[in-house]
Structure 1
Amino acid sequence: MGTWDIGPFDNDTAADFANALDDAAEGERERLVRGVLMRAVDNQDYLEAPDAEEAVAAAALIAAQCPGGEPVSPHYGPDKPIPSMSADVRRLAAEALDRVLADTSELSELWGAEEGGRWRGSIAQLRQVLDPTTEAQGDALFEI
């Protein structure tokens, strides 16, 4: 796992996803983001780490467009702007993060040790920005 920190673009897979977004035509970027999120949400089996890492990165891009959202890392995130996304993509991003944190997610397993609490906290923050109505539930689910 080429990971250097807990941020959504702090791994090789997400950095490659950012490059793919930059290489895509402006009109294709939303399709790429939506596709990554749908792949994670639709996976009912074991979610492999690369798919989960891309989903976290895509969710961070959506969260950055929301009130209270943090800007994406200028070093590893995409250089080109992401178009404004519709509300359904915001819900899809929240669902993708839930899937990333599930027991059948390789990324969740990989972050189960030392830095797992910090990583889960960062995912919970993204999730909260995407769906503020889950605050009470999120606190219970993502204790550090």
Structure 2
Amino acid sequence: MGTWDTGPFDNDTAADFAIALDNANPEEREVLIRGVLARTVNATGYLAEAEEAVAAAALIAVQCPGGEPIDTAYGPEKAMPAFPADLRMLAAEALTRILDDDSGLAANWLDPADASRWLTTLNRIRTVLAPPPASADVPLFDIDS
């Protein structure tokens, strides 16, 4: 069927990735997630694993403050390990790479409204993973004259 909605697991490739995570031994799940994210960040040309990287990033974001639970029957059924902090930045980098790829996944949407919802979902996940820095307008300390 391909893609049926705009969520991180709402396509065949991401749903298959969820099944692979469920079939993996618990200690192998982080390795699978780290691998797909690293390959996406380091890819040149076509991002072959972009759909899996989006799903992996969503799983990491669940464990972050402000992260939303995966509420779909197509996500992994088994529990994910507690992910180390360095995966947050790797996942954010992978999403940035996907969002910057003009000829990639974003170009596949036929309905502009669906494309917009999908981009909003990815940006929301990326914001959870790598929140914007604190405002530069806030002084680090006060100096009394």
Q: Same fold (TM over 0.5)?
A: yes
- Report how far residue 74 of structure 1 moved: 4.0
CA distance in structure 2 between the partners assigned to 1:112 and 1:38 by the alignment = 29
- Report how far residue 46 of structure 1 moved: 2.1
Unmatched tracts of structure 2, length 5 or more:
136-145
Correspondence for 1:43 = 43
1:28-107 alignment, distance < 5 Å: 28-48=28-48, 51-107=49-105
What is the RMSD computed on CA atoms of the aligned residues? 1.9
- Report how far residue 124 of structure 1 moved: 0.6
% identical aligned pairs:
58
Runs of 4+ in 1 over 6 A off after TM superposition: none
Q: Is residue 128–residue 135 contact of structure 1 (8 Å, CA) maintained in 2?
A: no
C-alpha distance after superposition, 1:42-63 (max 9, x if no partner) = 1022213xx1100000000000
Q: 1:14 to 1:92 in 2, by over 3 A?
A: same
Q: Is residue 63–residue 126 contact of structure 1 (8 Å, CA) maintained in 2?
A: yes
- Report how far residue 103 of structure 1 moved: 2.9
- Larger radius of gyration between Structure 1 and Structure 2: 2
1:111-130 alignment, distance < 5 Å: 111=109, 113-114=111-112, 115-130=114-129
Correspondence for 2:17 = 17
Higher percent of residues as helix: 1
Q: Is residue 62–residue 69 contact of structure 2 (8 Å, CA) maintained in 1?
A: yes
CA distance in structure 1 between the partners assigned to 2:120 and 2:91 by the alignment = 16
Corresponding letter in the other structure for 2:60 = I
- Report how far residue 116 of structure 1 moved: 1.0
Q: Tell me the TM-score normalized by structure 1.
A: 0.86
CA distance in structure 2 between the partners assigned to 1:132 and 1:34 by the alignment = 20
Q: Is residue 102–residue 108 contact of structure 1 (8 Å, CA) maintained in 2?
A: no
- Report how far residue 73 of structure 1 moved: 2.6
